[in-house]
Chain A
Amino acid sequence: MSRMVVLTGNHAVAYAAKLARVDIVAAYPITPQTSIVEKIAELIESGDMDAVMINVESEHSALAVCYGSAIAGARVLTATSSHGLLYMHEWVHWAARARIPLVMAVTTRTIGTPWNIWPDHSDFMDQRDAGWIMGFAADNQEVLDMVIQGFKISEDPRVYLPVMIGLEGFILGHTATPVELPGQKIIDEWLGPRRQGFLVDGREPVAIGNLAWPEDTEEIFMDLQKSMREALTVIQEVDREYSKIVGREYGGSVQCIRCSDAKYLAVSMGAWSGDLIEAINNLREEGYPVGVLRIRFYRPFPHSEVWKYSRGVKGVIVFDRAISFGAWGQIYTDLVASMHIYTSKLPFITDVIAGIGGVNITYSDFYELVKNFIDRIERDEEPPRFTWYHKRR
């Protein structure tokens, strides 16, 4: 039986791990992730969760331990943030390239220096090219659902890749909201036993990770790319299946809010999408034909979904909470490239970098930015292609 509880985003990760019957958790404390492992430790020590907690000495070892446990047949979870994620970056690549299913929660936080504990997406985006399935939740309920979905996607034989679930530190991580916990039985039935492509448990002599010649190496990575493509379908399927058992459907890789009849699209990812949706609802009331396209899964990039909703629109405004210095926001870059697959005639697309270093972007900021963008196009003015929207302290 499902029940409503009040949970922070971080605690939602812990309860999702419990529902997914995670066997082994290895993690290292870092603000703002810490309350995930604290909660899991509490659940284990109180006897509510049957799992082993390994309190490692670094994030690099956290993912290494998870990798070891996973290849030996355990369902594992780790969690980290910012510098911790950067410290384990070597293993982030290794886990994906070894095709080992596991799930990691990333409670996002700005990368230093200067020291900063507030959230942006810089740590998450830094893992962009590592070969992980990368989801980003927008509220605490979705955090819980996405972690559970993450295991299903990760352990699908068409995918067999690790899954990273992002949630903004503090905004979701430490803010308690009502969350519906699905019943253990329905999750057990749906998720099923641990599934993986190979097993190293000493019963049969196998070697993994051997030196490989360039051609073999390339083929292994071509397979990875193929699986990423397949994952687009799997993510849709998993979301649909999940909705049948819990009654919540998010739309797969993207969530479309009032965008099917929209002439303008605002694209975003993460918790601030809530403020953006609020702003768009108001603009709709004022007659602006605008919708929100929320990226739920950033990798694999949902290019066809993006095209499905952006086809024929007049303008797209992208909100990026991270920047590739010297270039643009990552979502903008991928969105432009994706649309270019389908058409050489792109609409007006503008990239707004905002909320970097945890600068608080509110409903009214989104309202002004989107309104301004649409007004300019409607007045036949060329809108800027790139803006770093900054608010002074």
Chain B
Amino acid sequence: MYSRKSPLPYKMRDVVLPGDAACPGCPIPIAWKVLGAVFGEKMILVIPACCSSVVVGPYPYSSIKASVVHVAFASAAAVASGIAEALERRGITDVYVVAWAGDGGTADIGMASLSGAAERNHNIIYIMYDNEAYMNTGIQRSSATPYGAWTTTTPIIGKTEHKKDVAKIMIAHGIPYVATASIGYPHDLYAKLERAKSIHGFKFIHLHAPCPVGWRFDPRYTIKVAKLAVETGMWILYEYYDGKLRISGPSKPFIDSKRRKPIEEYLKLQGRFRKITPEKVEEIRKYVDENWRWVKLLS
């Protein structure tokens, strides 16, 4: 497979400019490179308060060769809807509006505007890049933080609730396209964005994006951690459209629970799970099994 020459790297070259303000090993610009491969300059990224608002870089310059609109925290979906409607009215059809928000800006403060925009079915792609905590403010718990994880607001016991499953909520909205993706699988993300691009209406992609700083691992392991989440079955890649769930290629081998790597392998790489107890690991395992049961039910 390594010898196969993919056109993807060439397409990924132009949109993300070197010298951005991201931390070393940050997954955000990797995803933007994939976005660049799909949309080129013809995209308008709508970014609420999150790490990405900093990564783009300070005025009067921008590290992305596409349009970027920074907006107030709870408003990514709303502003994106407004832009999409104006473009539609102006007859501009070759520009794609992408709301790009973190887990806090999506699962927490942005939930109402996301739900509203989805229900109105505006023609936008909403990407929730999920680094599982409020990283920009310094690693505070979000509703997307997994069970047992240390954050600065769950400092001793760890989080006592499970992760909010936003993709599931979006499926319930009946929108044309919902997918989960991972920073560890850019080809899969690329294919999903291509499909999203071809569909008119509201598209939602939940992108798992490990954060070296907040998850307490060496920056070199960003991709390794992302892949382990999939290989242990903790993160399941799928698409949901036309009333059916389709498990994506990278996750297919792990439908069979015996083929999944032990979740400890995923947990032990990350400092945020350093103090996790065996009982809590067991609780996570149950959660993973339940997730798979649900995914299989819909597929």
Q: Which segment, of B58-66, B138-146, B207-215, B256-264, faces chain A?
A: B58-66
The residues of A that contact B42 with a CB separation of less than 8 Å are 202
B166 interfacial by beta-carbon distance below 8 Å? no
Per-position contact with A for B103-143: 1 when CB-CB < 8 Å, else 0? 00000000011011101100000000000000000000000
Contacts known (A57-B113, A68-B78); A205 close to B58, Cβ less than 8 A: no
Choose, from B80-88, B173-181, B219-227, B239-247, the stretch at the interface: B80-88
Query: Which residues of B are found within 8 Å of A203, using beta-carbon distances?
Result: 92, 95
Cβ-defined partner of A212 (8 Å) among B58, B65, B71, B82: B58
Cβ of A210: which chain B residues have Cβ within 8 Å of it?
53, 56-62, 68, 70
Known: A57-B116, A91-B75, A94-B72. A67 touches B67 (CB 8 A): no
Of A69, A94, A206, which one neighbours B85 at CB under 8 angstroms? Answer: A69
Report how far A174 CA is from B299 CA in the complex, Å: 54
Q: Which residues of B contact A321 (CB under 8 A)?
A: none
Q: How far is the CA of A207 from the CA of B62 in the complex (A)?
A: 6
Q: List residues of chain B with CB within 8 A of the CB of A213.
A: 58-59
Nearest CB in chain B: distance from A131 CB, A? 15
The reply to whether the CB of A58 lies closer than 8 angstroms to some CB of chain B is: yes
> Given A68-B82, A201-B87, A212-B59, are A94 and B71 neighbors across the interface (CB < 8 Å)?
yes
- Residue A338, interface by CB 8 Å: no
CB-defined interface of A209-235 with B at 8 Å, one 1/0 digit per residue? 111110010000000000000000000
Q: Chain A's nearest CB lies how many Å from the CB of B53?
A: 6
Chain A nearest CB from B116 CB (Å) reads 3
Contacts of B120 in A (CB 8 A): 54-56
Which residues of the partner chain A approach B95 to less than 8 Å between Cβ atoms?
201-203
Instruction: Tell me, yes or no, whether A335 is within 8 Å of chain B by CB.
Output: no
When chains A and B are docked, how far (Å) is the Cα of A203 from the Cα of B68?
12
In angstroms, Cα B198 to Cα A311, docked, is 67
In the complex formed, the residue of A with least CB distance to B45 is A207
Residue among B43, B78, B89, B96 making CB contact with A64, cutoff 8 Å? B78
- B78 close to A205 (CB less than 8 A): no
Tell me if B74 counts as interface (CB < 8 A to partner A): yes
How far is A213 from B60 in the complex, measured between Cα atoms in Å? 10
Q: Binary interface profile of A, 42-60, with partner B (CB < 8 Å = 1, else 0)?
A: 0000000000101111101
Given A72-B90, A203-B95, A212-B58, does the pair A65, B67 have CB atoms closer than 8 Å? no
Specify which chain B residues have a CB less than 8 angstroms from the CB of A90 in the assembled complex.
72
- A209-B87 contact given A56-B78, A68-B80, A68-B82, CB 8 Å threshold: no
**Nearest CB of chain B from residue A97's CB, rounded to whole Å:** 11
Contacting pair B83 A209 (CB below 8 A): no
Say yes or no: A211 contacts B59, CB within 8 Å: yes
A72→B68 CA distance, assembly (Å): 12
Task: State whether A205 and B71 are in contact (beta carbons under 8 Å apart), knowing that A60-B78, A210-B58 are contacts in the complex.
Answer: no
CB contacts (< 8 Å) of B112 on chain A: these are: 57-58, 61
Is A23 among interface residues, defined by CB-CB distance under 8 A? yes
A274 at the A/B interface (Cβ < 8 Å)? no
Q: Give the docked Cα–Cα distance between A55 and B119 (Å).
A: 11
Cβ-defined contact, B71 with A67, below 8 A: yes
**B229 sits at the interface (CB 8 A):** no
B85 near A54 (CB under 8 angstroms)?
A: yes
> Are B59 and A71 in contact, with the CB atoms below 8 A?
no
**How many residues on A have C-beta within 8 angstroms of the other chain's C-beta atoms?**
41
Are B69's CB and A211's CB within 8 A?
no
Given A58-B113, A61-B78, A211-B53, decide whether A52 and B89 contact each other with a Cβ distance below 8 A: yes
Contacts of A144 in B (CB 8 A): none
Q: Are A211 and B58 in contact (CB under 8 A)?
A: yes
Chain B residues with CB under 8 A of A211:
53-54, 56-59, 70
Contact B82 A208 (CB under 8 A): no
B99 to chain A, nearest CB (A): 10
Q: Among B42, B78, B94, B115, which residue has the most Cβ atoms of chain A within 10 A?
A: B78
Q: Is the CB of A208 within 8 A of B70?
A: yes
> Which chain B residues lie closer than 8 Å to A204 at the CB level?
67
The interface residues of chain A lying within 8 Å CB-to-CB of B68 are 206-208, 210
B26-60 at interface with A (beta carbon < 8 Å): 41-44, 46, 53-54, 56-60
Q: Contact between B69 and A56 (Cβ–Cβ < 8 Å)?
A: no
With a 10 A CB-CB cut-off, give which of B42, B80, B85, B86 has the most chain A CB atoms: B86
Chain A residues whose C-beta falls within 8 Å of the C-beta of B54 in the assembled complex: 211
Contact B59 A64 (CB under 8 A): no
Shortest distance between the CB of B66 and any CB in chain A (Å): 5
Are A74 and B89 also in contact (CB < 8 A) when A206-B67, A210-B57, A213-B58 are? yes
Which residues does chain A contribute within 8 Å of B75, judged by CB atoms? Answer: 60-61, 64, 91
| Complex Cα spacing A235 to B83, Å | 29
From A93, which residue of chain B is reached at the shortest CB distance?
B72
Tell whether A209 pairs with B69 under 8 Å between CB atoms, given A24-B86, A201-B90.
Answer: yes
Q: Quick one: given A58-B113, A73-B90, A201-B92, are A91 and B72 in contact (CB under 8 Å)? A: yes
By a CB distance below 8 angstroms, the chain A residues around B82 are 24, 26, 54, 64-70, 72, 76
* Residues of chain A with a CB closer than 8 A to B67's CB: 200-202, 204-207
Tell me if B79 counts as interface (CB < 8 A to partner A): yes
Minimum CB distance partner of A68 in chain B: B82
- What are 9 pairs between A and B in contact, CB < 8 Å? A24-B85, A57-B113, A64-B72, A65-B78, A65-B79, A67-B71, A202-B95, A208-B68, A210-B68
- Residues of A participating in the B interface, judged by any CB pair closer than 8 Å: 23-24, 26, 52, 54-58, 60-61, 64-74, 76, 90-91, 94, 200-213, 216
In order of increasing CB-CB distance, the 6 nearest A-B pairs are: A68-B82, A202-B95, A57-B116, A209-B70, A72-B86, A207-B62
